[in-house]
Chain A
């Protein structure tokens, strides 16, 4: 087990009139190499949860284990955990500060105390995976376009070579082209580096296209945790808490409801097309 969260509770400003329980008694674990989608509407506790995973917030109660070790067992070592569990915040381009793209991406590895050689290697590797060309490395990050800035910021976290990467809405505010390109890079990253990914997103379509497991949060609690098909089959429950399923999945649920012999475990338009063709084909065979 790579990461394990046990009975995690977080209360903001405890013992005051403003005290607010953001997450309550949350437990789950993550295996190496998983691609997890974390969904829930704003205020459901998603961001509080992910900030616990790399020790940016301290639990009010409960424990987090990384490779079997309590991440808060030694306060001095919490920085090391942050190199292992990378967190990319929403609108991460807000964190860019260096004179050049290279230096900015090198900030994380430098904090790790690596050699110049190693840092260089890591910067190049990170750039390669997010699609930043070499000639951009000496530019100022502030000259880049929005989509490029976003990639540089993500590369800045990847350069630490974490074993888990958490991305909070990595495509927010981008146009469809930029959105798809970032998502494809993340998919590639998961496949070629074998890195464990936790993707926070409001787009059910993006989650369906990428994640193999979904964790659903509502009012600070985990209300569903399971395979993508399984979670998206609980359409009514999801809609009750203000979430949805991918449009195409919804279409097949409606068809099933109307009495047609279709499968409902459809997540992408490609699968949808094949399913319709399959049902039509069957009819053809029967030669009515």
Chain B
């Protein structure tokens, strides 16, 4: 069950998207997020869809992976759709028991759902195509100009990469502890919400203790391997901008311009 989580995982492959500098990918992802909120109609979303299909093709990631990443947020999407559908005023489309559903409601709901889905799909491309280390490396580099004003860029990046490294280990551990407590008759499936919350104690306490223990061990191991903070460190894989990054930027800026034009000219379809 816990092993189904694919969000935030790296999928190694040999593709142009994988080869892009992680800084480029992070900034492009930010730009993409902006685009999602600039788009306000079906043509715009159509352009984004084409872009995502193009990325899927370029990055060589199996489509199955992308859809699997959507599963955990399904509840969230449905929740947003329902909320928007019933809470928006406007021209009544039909009556659902005693709630009025408006045309405006339907469109806002669909747009919100599409935004969330595109947000997750687009950002998952970043994590699928960038190894955690290069990702954090990129964040560290992007943040380093702010180091002068006290942003601990290296420390933040190190913390993130260690967290990413230990996620699978901790998931495995949770699974094991859960089973061990179940073997002693613990029940996680029935009872009231409060009781279920209480039932988590036998999992959380051992998990915390083991996490602290691991942290301590890891700190010793890092020290033993001459870790001494961020100063004077070199990298096995130095980040380097290539021509590829320039192409990517060129392409993204064009795409952004296109989406802006669609928005500004305002010929996009936002309803009937």
Contact = CB atoms under 8 A, between A and B. Distances in A.
A51 B186 contact: no
Contact of B184 (A17, A51, A94, A157): A157
A89 B206 contact: no
Interface residues of B, number: 20
Interface string A82-109: 1100110100101111000000000110
A219 to B, nearest CB: 22
A49 B190 CA distance: 26
A148 interface: no
A142 B206 CA distance: 10
A96 B187 CA distance: 16
Given A97-B205, A97-B206, A111 B187 contact: yes
Interface string A31-58: 0000000000000000000010010100
A82 B185 CA distance: 6
Interface residues of A, number: 24
Contact of B186 (A13, A17, A111, A157): A111
Which secondary structure dominates where chain A touches chain B? helix
A272 interface: no
Nearest to B4: A13
Contacts of A17: 64
Contact of B183 (A89, A112, A142): A89
Contacts of A97: 201-202, 205-206
A27 B210 CA distance: 37
Nearest to A89: B180
A108 B206 contact: no
A74 to B, nearest CB: 15
A111 B185 contact: yes
A273 interface: no
Interface in B156-185: 173, 176-177, 179-185
Interface string A146-190: 000000000011001000000000000000000000000000000
Contact of A156 (B3, B173, B179, B184): B184
A89 B176 contact: yes
A278 interface: no
Interface string B184-221: 11110000000000000110011001100000000000
A152 B206 CA distance: 14
B204 to A, nearest CB: 8
A62 to B, nearest CB: 20
A79 interface: yes
Nearest to B187: A79
B179 A94 contact: no
Nearest to B190: A76
Contacts of B206: 94-97
Contacts of B187: 79, 111
Contacts of B201: 97
Nearest to A96: B206
B180 A108 contact: no
Contact of A92 (B3, B173, B180, B205): B180
B177 A112 contact: no
A278 to B, nearest CB: 46
Interface string B59-92: 0000010000000000000000000000000000
A259 to B, nearest CB: 51
A56 B184 CA distance: 11
A51 B178 CA distance: 13
A56 B176 contact: no
Contacts of A156: 184
Contacts of B186: 107, 111
B213 to A, nearest CB: 10
Given A97-B201, A142-B209, A82 B179 contact: no
A111 B188 CA distance: 12
Interface string B90-124: 00000000000000000000000000000000000
A112 B181 CA distance: 13
A157 B183 contact: yes
Interface of B: 3, 64, 173, 176-177, 179-187, 201-202, 205-206, 209-210
23 contacts: A54-B183, A56-B179, A79-B187, A82-B182, A82-B183, A83-B185, A87-B183, A92-B180, A94-B173, A94-B177, A94-B210, A95-B180, A95-B202, A95-B206, A97-B205, A97-B206, A107-B184, A107-B186, A107-B202, A108-B184, A108-B185, A156-B184, A157-B184
State the 8 A-B residue pairs at the shortest beta-carbon distance, nearest first: A111-B185, A97-B205, A95-B180, A108-B184, A87-B183, A97-B202, A89-B180, A97-B206
Interface of A: 13, 17, 51, 54, 56, 79, 82-83, 86-87, 89, 92, 94-97, 107-108, 111-112, 142, 156-157, 160
